[in-house]
Structure 1
Amino acid sequence: MQPDYSKFREYLSIKRYSSATIDTVVRAVEYLRQWSERDNIPELEEISYNDLLSFMKCSSAGGASQRTVSGYLTHVRKYYEWLISEGVIKDNPASSIKIQGIKRRSYYDILCPASLEELYQNYTTNITHEPGKMVPPQELNILSRRRNRVIVGLLVYQGLRVEEVAALKIPDLQLREGKVMIHAKRRTAARNMTLESFQVYEIMDYLHEVRKQLLPEGVVTDQLFVQRDGGQNFYGVTHMLLKQLRQINSRIKNLDQIRSSVIIRWLKEHDLRKAQYLAGHKYVSSTEAYKQQVLDGLQEAVNRFHPL
């Protein structure tokens, strides 16, 4: 009979995991429970470090990839963290196990600080096009470009995720202090970000002039970034913005590439914990993954310019 995971699910929900992630975690724990029953280990609380090694070996023998087995381990580790918080056990048997040989996440072509700066400085609110060429109406909208320039600043200088930009509200701005409050999301933590002085002036201009003209008549909202047609789909804004940024730098693949480049820059300028806070990473391991890319880049430079 399958045990009741309701309290564990509640624990994961409090930790702000999505329902889909919670289902995945519980499924992995259930795989472990079923294996332990077959191996005559009656309770998950009694599983040892060596037992987990056997479970992982059995999973691999059953055809699971190293990445899948690593995922099982990550999910099971959460279960034992919960048991520790409940006072059921004292130590996490999965805490010191690591899967070797897994290919690290591949990050984007990283933009140097000068290239990031150029995205903002060269993003013009003027409309230029070749003579005789048809230009989509939205590209003729100077108001939209002035709004988008503010968005570019938040991407380049604060390294915000697109969903964080879309979620910003007017009360989140603290312009007298030159700051903006970023609220916690499912994938990121809350943080108070410092604005550059020129950003403050552009945001004030946007609030007092551009936003009022973009906001449809009769519509009342505290959403910071609005669209002229009253649309709620931020994808249309970012889709056009991405096309415009590629005209400045053809290396731009997507907006996540900009965020990754900003995080890499922070890691070069600050210690790990400071970079974690600025990036809004809930776990330092997320920031460390970017740090490894910095080290890889330095090693590549050494190999290229100072080969042995």
Structure 2
Amino acid sequence: MTLEQYLGARHTPGTAASYGREIAIYLSNCPGASSACFADVAAYLGALRQRYRSAATLNRILCSLKAYYAYLVASGQRSDDPARSVYLRDQRSRDVQLQDLFTPQELEVLLQRKERYAALSYRNRVLMSLLVYQGLQPAEIAQIRTTDIDLDAGTIHTAGTATTSARTLPLKPNQVLLFFAYLQDVRPALQKGKATDIFMLGIRGHAMKAADISKHVLRLYGELFAPRRVSAETIRQSVIANLLKAGHPLHLVQKFAGHKYPSSTERYRQSAVITLQSAVAQYHPMQ
């Protein structure tokens, strides 16, 4: 197994390419990288602090190095991982940019896009409804199987991911009819005889991966509300923020979103933004 194959099997194409570039730079600057110790990795990152002030950039480089040494361990070239316990003091901002999110009415617009081909129109409406109504992540949508859909009960089950918990969510009434048509007629046409129980299929009958879903949203909807960017992430963030703004209890929104910790849901509260806006209005009124 090559490094490229290892990265490609564990990351999206974009992330794998980015990690590959950073690893190549690391190897060119540190010829003895394959036998480096913890202090060597920490010293390399310390030197980069003089060049890069962005915590996000440094974190990307560190993640690349962690991937490199994880590959060496997985391929039997090393028995220890010198980068595993290396962490940055810098904290990347986890603030949700609430001012860039979308209202429930704007999210509904995403479900009304016209398609040239009827089959793709149904598939895309099913996909977008899972983002707009259930607030699922692309990785969660990609692993849904036909057996996870219970139209009689009107529910959908997601197995969760490394960052979200497994949960069963209700479907909207209009989704039940939409999913029925997709499962009965549209999906078999897309499947083209291929043996798969993955729910979301591409035009050639292959299972849609998380990266495919993210790219699909950006390509078809990304500029719809410019300069705000429509992505699978901002749609999910909007759904969660709108539930809290509507007054739903924090613990119920946490369960709906699959957040493992209440603090993850707390980031979506509007109160801090409203307080800031009130202060601006009080001390800097627009005349």
**TM-score class, shorter:** 0.5 to 0.7
Q: Distance in 1 between matches of 2:256 and 2:188?
A: 31
Q: Is this contact kept in 1: 2:223–2:230, CA < 8 A?
A: no
Q: Which whole-Å CA distance do the structure 2 matches of 1:114 and 1:211 have between them?
A: 29
Q: Which runs of structure 2 are paired with 1:46-61 in the superposition (5 Å)?
A: none
Matches of 1:306 and 1:157, distance apart in 2: 37
Amino acid of the structure 2 residue aligned with 1:223: I
Q: TM-score, normalised by structure 2?
A: 0.61
Task: Quote the residue 1:135 is aligned against.
Answer: none
* Superposed CA RMSD: 3.1
Residue matched to 1:261: 238
Is residue 177 from structure 1 mapped to residue 153 from structure 2 by the alignment? yes
> In the TM superposition, what are the counterparts of 1:161-200 in structure 2 within 5 Å?
161-200=137-176
Q: Which has the larger radius of gyration?
A: 1
Tell me the matched-pair count.
200
- Give me the whole-angstrom Cα distance separating, in 2, the residues matched to 1:103 and 1:205: 44
Q: Is the 8 A contact 1:216 1:228 kept in 2?
A: no
Offset of residue 203 of structure 1: 0.5
Note the C-alpha offset of 1:117.
1.7
State yes or no: 1:270 paired with 2:243. no
- Please state whether the residue corresponding to 2:202 is helix, strand or coil: coil
Tell me the CA shift for residue 186 of structure 1: 0.9
Distance 1:276 1:237 in 2: 24
Question: Within 5 A, what are the aligned runs for 1:231-242?
Answer: 231-232=206-207, 234=209, 235-242=211-218
SS in 2 for 1:274: helix
- Residue 246 of structure 1, CA deviation: 3.1
Compared CA separation, residues 276 and 198, structure 1 to 2 (3 A): same
Dislocated runs of 4+, deviation >4 Å: 101-104, 304-308
**Cα offsets for 1:159-197 (capped at 9, x unmatched):** 000111111101111111111111132110011111110
In structure 2, C-alpha distance between the alignment counterparts of 1:246 and 1:272, rounded to whole Å: 29
Give the distance between the partners of 1:253 and 1:191, measured in 2 at CA: 25
- Matched with 1:204 is 180
**CA distance in 2: counterparts of 1:150 and 1:233, whole angstroms:** 13
Gaps of at least 5 residues in structure 2 are 1-37, 39-49, 56-89
Q: Which residue number corresponds to residue 118 of structure 1?
A: 109
